[in-house]
Amino acid sequence: MAELNTKPNIADPDGFYAELLGLHEGRDKAESDAVNARLILVLANHIGDREVLRQAFALAAPEHA
C-alpha cells in the first residue's frame, strides 16, 4: 500500500509559497476558490492512487476520517 509523504518534500518551500500566493493575486474569493479546486483536481490526478488520496483527505479534514 502506498503511503502519503508528509515529510518536507518541496525544494525552496518559501519560493513555492510565494508562487502559490501569486496565483491568487488580483482574484476575488470565488475565482481563488475555483483556482484551488482546479489545482486540487490536477494534483489528485497526478497522484492517481486512491488510497494515498484518502490519507490526504483524512489529514486535511480529520473530523471526516
Query: Residue 62 — pLDDT band, cuts 50, 70, 90?
Result: confident
Q: What is the pLDDT of residues 23-38, one digit of tens each?
A: 999 999 999 999 999 9
Q: Above 70 in pLDDT, residue 65?
A: no
How far CA 6 is from CA of 26, 33, 46, 56, 60, in Å, comes to 31, 24, 17, 9, 11
What is the distance in angstroms between the CA of the first residue and the CA of the last residue of the chain? 18
Task: Say what percent of the chain tops pLDDT 70.
Answer: 97
Half-sphere exposure of 24 (CA within 13 A, CB side): 15
The pLDDT of residue 60 is: 95
Note the pTM of the prediction, 2 decimals.
0.87
* Residue 16 pLDDT level (bands cut at 50, 70, 90): very high
Which of 32, 58, 54 lies closest to 44 in space, CA to CA? 54
Count the residues in the chain: 65
Domain map (residue ranges) of the chain: 28-65
